[in-house]
Structure 1
Amino acid sequence: MSVTLADVAARARVSAATVSRVLSGNYPVAESTRARVLRAVEELEYVVNGPASALAAASSDLVGIVVHDLADPFFGILAGAVQTELSGAAGPGGEKLAVVCGTGGSPERELTYLTLLQRQRASAVVLTGSASQDAGDARALAAALARLTAAGTRVVLCGRPADTARDVPDTASLSTLAFDNRGGARQLTAHLIGLGHRRIGCVAGPSGRTTTAERLAGHRAALAAHGIEDAPRRIEHGAYDRASGYDAARELLRRDADLTAIVAANDTAALGVCAALRDQGRRIPQDVSVAGFDDLPFGTDASPALTTVRLPLQEAGARAGRLATGREQRPPGGVATLRAELMVRESTAVAYS
């Protein structure tokens, strides 16, 4: 027997109207209530608007692009490249309508958008950025992805780890484009070590995110390979923004005023690190070398130009768009890992003696 809206309401201990409000996203609902309803939807494997077969047979021209931050250039480049491919789609169905959904990094909002896109019978969903490491969040995401693919929606995970979809039933409708965050971070820290740096601070990303874990693991692997102490006092977590980079750098320097280099979670945070150093009268790179990650466009215009790790964001977004429209063959095993490239510029130099 098909699961009904009333079944979901009973499981979540709310009214059917509240379930409808959560799924429509058109009315304010308390976050705790929203989470309870979405959990009930996942547990009961409720499919909005009828059985999955009907959804598959009547998919729309809509493609959802789910990002963390609409203002972050990282996501802007990815989404723009996806949309360019969608606008050039030829053949049956022609162009697709791209709808960009910003989650603010919230796993709950991400699940809400996936449910809404399923309800709108999206022909494809491109899910970008890092994922939550919480086991409950991972299970909920896997269930949502399984429902989408079962409904005939193509799903592309862009910038997610290769094992994100490990709990999703094997399907030709799901592809993963993973970045080599760990390898890139290892290259970056090894570059600093090669310049003679031994006291290296790390402005890591937010705790509990897969990208943060991968980049931090690469940093630590480089330290271990060269016999350098992995000191917790030289690691500070924060958001992927300039203000967090600024605050984290000040805290790291308070703990260890003799740091000779700082690696940041991304280029935006690296700009905050540079600002904090300048405010303390420290020169870059003569006193402290600074490095970022992602190779966002403003990095070459920074003063000094920022040493960083280049991720192929444009290529990744374009491939995601072609996979979403069926114009590129799914990679072997459903997963492709895109290489990271070290970009050495003027913000890093030999460690002072």
Structure 2
Amino acid sequence: MASGGQRVTIATIAEAAGVSVPTVSRVLNGRTDVSPETRDKIEMLLREHDYRPRNSRQPLRAGLMDLVFHDLDSPWAVELIRGVEDVTHAAGVGTVVSAVHHRTASARQWLQNLRARASDGVILVVSDGAGPVHSELHRLNVPMVIIDPAGGAAADVPTIGATNWSGGRTATEHLISLGHRRIGLVEGPKSLLCSRARLDGYRAALESVGIRVDRRLIEPGDFRHEGGFAAADRMLEREERPTAIFASSDQMALGVYEAARLRGLRVPEDLSVVGFDDLPEARWSSPPLTTVRQPLADMGALAARTVLRLSRGEAVETPRVELATELVVRESTAPVKPA
């Protein structure tokens, strides 16, 4: 706000930036005919002055909801989209799906598009909600919900996840119950809360029965087939290889399958494997994959319902929601072979 409580106007921003009022208006409307340097300067001033359009305090009813991923090359994303669209379709709201690919330029372009067309709300997937995106959505008064936050989201941003710690523990306990003691873990990206929670659940299960956590049996991964393959390949080349591997995603578990196959190992006779997510491909893999079911479609649906509530000005009682996970036992796990 300007000094004395006066409302900040486009003219105020234009004067501070040393540009014309139409130039500021073009930035606000997402136009591309402004130099990157000028755009960055104006956007910085808009944030600093907490500029809000005159009608920004009124609930937006654009008939559109944005669903924003870092990447879209995963059936995991498809399941979330399915849940979101079930809700938006019933509400007569369109879904705009975008990917920003971890690049600042992509995020900036997406924000420009959003300013140009408006939105009833935004669902960010695997994000910390911090930085310019959060600030700009707040300035535009656009409701935001985060699915699987990377870190600590702001207190005013609802987040939706799953019981990842419990899921990690349950997966590991299942392998322990089959007699496995050398249980490997393929982690997800360390920057994500869900990855760290699955690791902590794995550790808790081992420690609860007096099994020492062996760091040599924990390998980094990236939630992709390639990451699971590389991690399992490193574990299986050791003289004392694991008899079972818990992969923190189904895609990585299928990468473990391939690493085992290339070494002449059979699943589950020589190596038991557990995944996490219960994607459709888990059921159709060979052998069908034992995994921790994460209610992805339900998470997407809840996020969409929360955005719609916020867009109507309704309060959200619980800012952090975790939906229950469930172990699904199929044919990729078996009792450990006698020594």
Question: Structures share a fold, TM > 0.5?
Answer: yes
- Any idea what the Cα deviations from partners look like across 1:173-193, whole Å, max 9, x if unmatched? x43222111111111111111
Tell me which residue corresponds to 1:131. 127
Deviation of residue 122 (structure 1)? Answer: 1.6
Deviation of residue 76 (structure 1)? Answer: 1.1
Q: Given the alignment, which residue of 298, 308, 312 partners 1:325?
A: 308
Distance 1:198 1:28 in 2: 60
Gaps of 5+ in 2: 3-7
Distance 1:260 1:183 in 2: 22
Distance 2:251 2:81 in 1: 18
Tell me which residue corresponds to 1:175. 158
Tell me which residue corresponds to 1:310. 293
Question: Is the contact made by 1:25 and 1:116 (CA closer than 8 Å) also made in structure 2?
Answer: no
Q: 1:290 to 1:150 in 2, by over 3 A?
A: same
Q: 1:251 to 1:65 in 2, by over 3 A?
A: same
Distance 2:189 2:66 in 1: 25
Residue 84 in structure 1 maps to residue 86 in structure 2: yes
Tell me which residue corresponds to 1:165. 154
Aligned residue for 2:160, secondary structure, equals strand
Aligned residue for 2:127, secondary structure, equals coil
- Any idea what the Cα deviations from partners look like across 1:174-225, whole Å, max 9, x if unmatched? 4322211111111111111111111111111123222222221221222222
Aligned residue for 1:205, secondary structure, equals coil
Tell me which residue corresponds to 1:57. 58
Aligned residue for 1:292, secondary structure, equals strand
Identity of aligned residues (%): 32
Tell me which residue corresponds to 2:5. none
Q: Could you say which structure has the larger radius of gyration?
A: 2
- Any idea what the Cα deviations from partners look like across 1:162-183, whole Å, max 9, x if unmatched? 94233xxx4xxx4322211111
Q: Given the alignment, which residue of 172, 196, 205 partners 1:189?
A: 172
Question: Is the contact made by 1:123 and 1:152 (CA closer than 8 Å) also made in structure 2?
Answer: no
Tell me which residue corresponds to 1:348. 333
Which aligned pairs between 1:262-273 and structure 2 lie closer than 5 A? 262-273=245-256
Distance 1:70 1:26 in 2: 29
Which aligned pairs between 1:101-140 and structure 2 lie closer than 5 A? 101-105=98-102, 109-110=106-107, 113=110, 116-118=113-115, 120-128=117-125, 130-131=126-127, 139-140=130-131
Gaps of 5+ in 1: 11-15, 90-94, 133-137
- Paired letter, 1:57: Q
Question: Is the contact made by 1:293 and 1:310 (CA closer than 8 Å) also made in structure 2?
Answer: yes
Question: Is the contact made by 1:206 and 1:240 (CA closer than 8 Å) also made in structure 2?
Answer: yes
Q: 1:118 to 1:338 in 2, by over 3 A?
A: farther
Q: Given the alignment, which residue of 132, 145, 156 partners 2:145?
A: 156
- Any idea what the Cα deviations from partners look like across 1:246-283, whole Å, max 9, x if unmatched? 11110122245421011112001111110110110001
Which aligned pairs between 1:204-353 and structure 2 lie closer than 5 A? 204-326=187-309, 331-353=316-338
Distance 2:327 2:231 in 1: 23
Tell me which residue corresponds to 2:97. 100
Q: CA RMSD in A?
A: 3.6
Deviation of residue 44 (structure 1)? Answer: 6.5
Q: 1:202 to 1:7 in 2, by over 3 A?
A: farther
- Any idea what the Cα deviations from partners look like across 1:26-66, whole Å, max 9, x if unmatched? 9997xxx9xx949x957962589x51553343833321101
Deviation of residue 341 (structure 1)? Answer: 0.7
Aligned residue for 2:180, secondary structure, equals coil
Question: Is the contact made by 2:13 and 2:46 (CA closer than 8 Å) also made in structure 1?
Answer: no
Tell me which residue corresponds to 1:4. 13
TM-score by length of structure 2 reads: 0.81
TM-score by length of structure 1 reads: 0.78
Aligned residue for 1:65, secondary structure, equals strand
Distance 2:79 2:31 in 1: 29
Aligned residue for 1:4, secondary structure, equals helix
Aligned residue for 2:189, secondary structure, equals coil
Question: Is the contact made by 2:66 and 2:98 (CA closer than 8 Å) also made in structure 1?
Answer: yes
- Any idea what the Cα deviations from partners look like across 1:3-26, whole Å, max 9, x if unmatched? 73786799xxxxx99x959x7689
Distance 2:35 2:49 in 1: 22
Q: 1:322 to 1:346 in 2, by over 3 A?
A: same
- Count of matched residue pairs: 321
Q: 1:24 to 1:286 in 2, by over 3 A?
A: farther
- Paired letter, 1:335: R
Aligned residue for 2:82, secondary structure, equals helix
